[in-house]
Structure 1
Amino acid sequence: MNKVITSREELLAASKSIAASQGLAALNMRAVAAAANVAVGSVYNYFPSKAELVTATVQDIWRGIFHAAGSYAQAGDFCACVEWLFDSIRTGAAEYPDFLRAHMSGFAAQDRKKARQTMEEAFGHMRASLEQVLERDEKVRPDAFGQDLTRQQFVAFVFSSLMAGLAREETDCAVLLAVIRRVLY
């Protein structure tokens, strides 16, 4: 057993390794302790419950997926950004079995609210970035948005369509991109 004090990052790395090889449902304190070669108490020092461990793991996975997309938010082409985001999430989530549909399964019923909050924080960050790119896209028709369709509503539609396609395990977002082009340009 490792007698050296283990960091939170090392425990998260062990946790993500388990999530990648066995899925989020396999996460528990003993498994993470064994993977990190530490006592179970060391895991509890950083994560007071399994829900805290799973939440931190999910947050770290989303952070990795989002940052794997690099600087897509700096792009000035909304369609290219949507495609880039779709591919980044698809590629990143492929590392973790059933991540997009089942990451909340590792939570007890009382902890589902926290799981949803964690997911919404990640999604909110992505939607905000999409809104920024849409705002900078100089090719958007001046009359594309109005009272009946705001930029925020459009981004919410695009993002939910993108995530639905990923949940259906679609390999591309070509249809979504065609709809975006017809609405915007």
Structure 2
Amino acid sequence: MKVCRDMIQKDGWTSVNIRALANACDISVGSVYNYFNSKADLTASMIESVWRDIFCLPQDPDILHNILSCITWIFQRLKDGEKRYPGFFHLHAVSFFGEEKEDGKERMLQSWQHVMQVLCTVLQQDPQIRPNAFTDTFTREHFADLLFSLILSALLRNNYDPSPVLEVIRRTVY
């Protein structure tokens, strides 16, 4: 997957296929098929790998101690991801067809679930959140889902400014 990510960074998303990957790894095409059943399987694995690379946990654990710094970090990771993998956020959404589309969507959702879990954990641990900010009907999970929706909306607009989301947090739970 590292070779695939390097190929995407150097020559773009469409540069990666089974033959090109085999050449880059100096292995036979058949060897690649030992790991990936089809180009769609390779593509799904690449998408998952890129999402994981973009959202690897921060070196500074203090970033995840409050929701404001966490959201700022997420937006920075998205901005960096767009620089390292130009067009990735838009291209991967249209790269699957037919039955392969469901597999790609499932892998993407698994990667996003990781981000949701981080948001929920940070909301649980953030000492600045008002004690009564969450209720039985407005839970941390609901708020994390809302924040994630705002993040995805910003992502689709190529807007990497976290300020509006940070303001929602300040007004809602602080």
Give the alignment's TM-score, normalised by structure 2: 0.90
Q: Identity of paired residues, percent?
A: 32
| Whole-Å separation in 2 of the counterparts to 1:73 and 1:149 | 26
Q: Does 1:37 align with 2:23?
A: no
Give the alignment's TM-score, normalised by structure 1: 0.85
Structure 1 contact 73–81 (Cα < 8 Å) conserved: no
Q: Does 1:164 align with 2:153?
A: yes
Q: How do residues 1-185 of structure 1 correspond to structure 2 at under 5 angstroms?
A: 12-67=1-56, 69-70=58-59, 75-185=64-174
Q: 1:8 corresponds to which residue?
A: none
Inter-CA distance 92–184: structure 2 relative to 1 (3 Å threshold): same
User: Which 5+ residue runs of structure 2 have no aligned equivalent?
Assistant: none
Structure 1 contact 22–97 (Cα < 8 Å) conserved: no
Structure 1 contact 75–133 (Cα < 8 Å) conserved: yes
Inter-CA distance 73–148: structure 2 relative to 1 (3 Å threshold): farther
Give the aligned length. 174
User: Which 5+ residue runs of structure 1 have no aligned equivalent?
Assistant: 1-11
Structure 2 contact 7–16 (Cα < 8 Å) conserved: yes
| Whole-Å separation in 1 of the counterparts to 2:141 and 2:60 | 21
> Shift in Å at residue 82 of structure 1?
0.9
Paired amino acid for 1:136: Q
Inter-CA distance 143–100: structure 2 relative to 1 (3 Å threshold): same
Paired amino acid for 1:17: D
Aligned Cα root-mean-square deviation (Å): 1.9
Paired amino acid for 2:47: V
| Whole-Å separation in 1 of the counterparts to 2:148 and 2:163 | 14
Inter-CA distance 109–24: structure 2 relative to 1 (3 Å threshold): farther
> Shift in Å at residue 74 of structure 1?
6.8
| Whole-Å separation in 1 of the counterparts to 2:60 and 2:49 | 18
